[in-house]
Every structure is written in C-alpha cells, then in structure tokens.
Structure 1
Amino acid sequence: MQELADVETVHDEGSWLFTVEDPYGSLEEVVLVPCEDGVSAWVNRCTHEAQRFDTGRGVPMRDGQLVCPKHGSLFDACEGDCDNGEAAGTTLPGVAVATNRGTVVLTDDDYTFRHEGGIDDDEGPDSTSHLSL
C-alpha cells in the first residue's frame, strides 16, 4: 500500500492529483476528491471525449460533483455516476483507495504509484545541447 495524502488535505484543497502506472506500463492520472465518507479516487478524465478534470488547477467541483470543464457533465464524487449532459448514463473508472488513520492509501493492485501531480509534472525541459557550464 502506498500512502498518498491526508484526508484533511483532500477536503481542504478540494482534490489531489497523482500519477500511477498500469500493468502494461502506461501512465494514468488519478484524482482524489472529497466524499461524505472520506475520499474517492477516479481516473482523471471524463467518460465523454476523455477531457481531463484536473488540468493543473484542481478538479472543478459543485455540490459534491465533479464538473467536466468541456461540456459541464456532472459526476457524483462518491459514486462516479453521471446523469446529465454529454456523459449521461456513464460512470467514471474508479481506483481503489482506503483510509488509514486519516491518510489515504492506494490499495488497487492494478496500479503502481509513480508520483504526486500529473503525468508530465516531473519532467524538466528537454535539451538537445551537449554543452555543460
């Protein structure tokens, strides 16, 4: 189990973004969002057109629902279900997490934690120069 964030942090900040690797070596962004029972974890994309919820500024939320920034579809933060807009009738892909003494831990055997933030957040600028100063 990998420790991710404090439940309090997720509730205070409104969401928490991290990157995982799936069994095939592909990277995937996941968001933790506040829920009345603690937190839930969802793959960071709308089920309609794969629009990212968190684009680096946190997940847009309204009344306990994730808001797709492209079409405005609303997903229940605790269940992942959508009943309106372009994504109506779909459910977000979930990632298994649990809480342990106020800390959220990744418990999903299909994913390996890589780092906090988005997929590209740990990459520095590319350089083609071989000069050193």
Structure 2
Amino acid sequence: MRLTVYLAGEIHSSWRDEIKEKAAALKLPIDFVGPQENHDRSDNIGEEIIGEQPGPFYKDWAASSFNNLRTEVLMQKADLVIALFGEKYKQWNTAMDASAAVALGKPLILIRPEQHIHALKELSRKANATVENCDQAIKALKYIFD
C-alpha cells in the first residue's frame, strides 16, 4: 500500500525536506505533495497564466485562484494531510489548509510547537493526531504501516 501525503504549512524553511528524508530512510511507501514551494512562482502564477494585472490586489486575486486550484486538487487526491504550524512565520495558509482537510474528511496530523497549544486548541481537537515536531509526525506515519 502506498499513501499520498499533502504537506501543508509555510514554505520558507526546510521542514518538508526533513519529513521526506526521514520517511525515505524508513522506506515508508509515501508520495508527498504540497503547495507551490517557489514563493515567487506562487505570487506570480496568476499573471503567468492570464497576463499582467492592473494592481497588487488583482495580482494576488489571480494568483490565489490558481494556488487554491492546485491545493484543492492535490489535497483531494491525498490520503492524509500533515499541517505544520512553525514558530516563525505567519500561519494563515496552514490554518486554511488544515481546516480544508478536516472539511474534506482527510486524516490530519497537526504539528504545532508547545507555545501554540492555546491558539490551536480547537483545530488540534479536530485533527486525528497532534504532535510537536517532525520526528513525532514520522513516528505517526510509520505506525500506519506497522
């Protein structure tokens, strides 16, 4: 059995690489998907597809349409979602993706540091599992195959 796992969360750090490397080291049969990790491409995809927009609002509006399309297609095909709430970056997209996973009935592993326990208490209760770091998330993935 192979699983497809959607990795939701900020795109500025290497946490996805850490998850992928640890899963590969354990030989877990997992394919990983996620948001566009090239920040410039993500910001400019609307203009890349439909052309120059008349201002920043419209540029963001166009880009968000295609980013949301990509996310929805990949998340619907995923068997499971891991959503990471890091310590440094704003987490709006992570919250949106984690909530979408819950709404779609996708199993959800929520990674959140201790300082976010209170802020994420409701979302954490909706997740199938809540952990504090990538190592714990990998252990949860491995348990699926044990």
TM-score category, normalised to shorter length: under 0.3
Higher share of residues assigned strand? 1
- The TM-score, its normalising length taken from structure 1, stands at 0.26
Which structure shows the higher helix fraction?
2
